[in-house]
Amino acid sequence: MQLEDILTAERCFCRMEWGSKKRILTSISELLAEQDSELNAKDIYHALLGREQLGSTGLGKGIAIPHCRVAKCDQITGALITLAEPVDYDSIDGKPVDILFVLIVPEQKTDDHVKALAAIAELLSDEDFCFTLRNTFDSNDLFNIAIMHG
């Protein structure tokens, strides 16, 4: 999987001021639905929330990878978000989150879902890369850094 296959500059959001986990999930659902007329913000939100209820997607070290399967989704869709201030996300290490990579996946793409999650987790395990993301102040720069690194 190539990062540019699932991520676009329009789905990179730098230094967002979303002050809670619920606000993050609501806002990203709305933004993704605005960009794809086949997707519905409520469907995305409920799918993301349902996945979070199974266990937090907060991996630790300030990183979360919220992900879900959505019926009307026809391709794996990613969004990269940095937050202006870290937010409590029920992460496994108890630390707040400030970098998120959201994955929306078609219901039937189980293998691709797992592969994409693994690739994103590996990418975000690079501390230098995450440092650079945290110190980026422009959404287009965020996209370019991600694509160059990924």
Q: Are 78 and 101 in contact (CB under 8 A)?
A: yes
Beta 63-64 vs 97-106: how paired, if at all?
A: parallel
Tell me, yes or no, if 67 is annotated catalytic.
Answer: yes
Catalytic residue among 46, 67, 113, 149, which? 67
DSSP string, 92-141: TTS--EEEEEEEEEETT-HHHHHHHHHHHHHHHT-HHHHHHHHT---HHH
Which tokens go with 9? 């500059």
Q: Which residues are catalytic?
A: 67
